[in-house]
Every structure is written in structure tokens, then in C-alpha cells.
Amino acid sequence: MSLQTVSTSAFRSAVRQKDVVLVSFSTKWCPPCKVLRPILEELGNEKRNRLSVLQVDCDASPELAARYGIMSTPTVIVFHQGEPVNKLVGLRPKKAYEAALARYA
């Protein structure tokens, strides 16, 4: 599963597609973001029936980055029923993302 990049205009409906949505706020030039991508793709494949994994390019959608207080990339936010419920800043091991999702997915 490849991460779906979401634009500002499609963001609201995209985070409501499933009960649980993991959104990676990143940039194309960020080395830790490149390391994170396969981790999130793997999580998306493992839990595809329970969650969606999306990506926001902060350079292309600065208003979304500002709305969610993104000060550093990568930042991953877990959305539950369209609302942000957990935020992880910086590159973390896969287990950290699994723990952030455990309550919801």
C-alpha cells in the first residue's frame, strides 16, 4: 500500500473515510520522513481493514500544517472519527505508532 497524499481541499473528507486515520505531515526533502514512509506503508497494509494512512506535504499544504501546529517533520497525527487524538513528533520506531493506534484500531 502506498501512502495517499491529501490536499487541503480533500483533507476533511479524507480523515473521515474510516474511524481511524493516521496522517503523516512531511516534506519531500526531509530524510527522517523518507525513513518513516515504509513504516507507515507497512502499518497500513497490516491494518488496512481498520485504518487509512494518509500523507500531507507541508510544503504544498502549509495551511494544514499551521492548522495542526506542525513545527517539525515528520509529525504523525492519529485521527479518530475525524478528530485528532494523538500526535507523535519526529521519527519513532514502528512500535510507537502501533502503541498510538492501539486504543483506536
Q: How far, in Å, CA of 90 to CA of 6, rounded?
A: 20
Q: Which of 6, 20, 33, 70 is catalytic?
A: 33
Helices within the chain (DSSP H only): 8-14, 31-46, 62-67, 94-102
Active site residue 58: no
Which candidate in 8, 30, 82, 104 is catalytic?
30
Is 33 part of the annotated catalytic residue set? yes
- The residues annotated as belonging to the active site are 30, 33
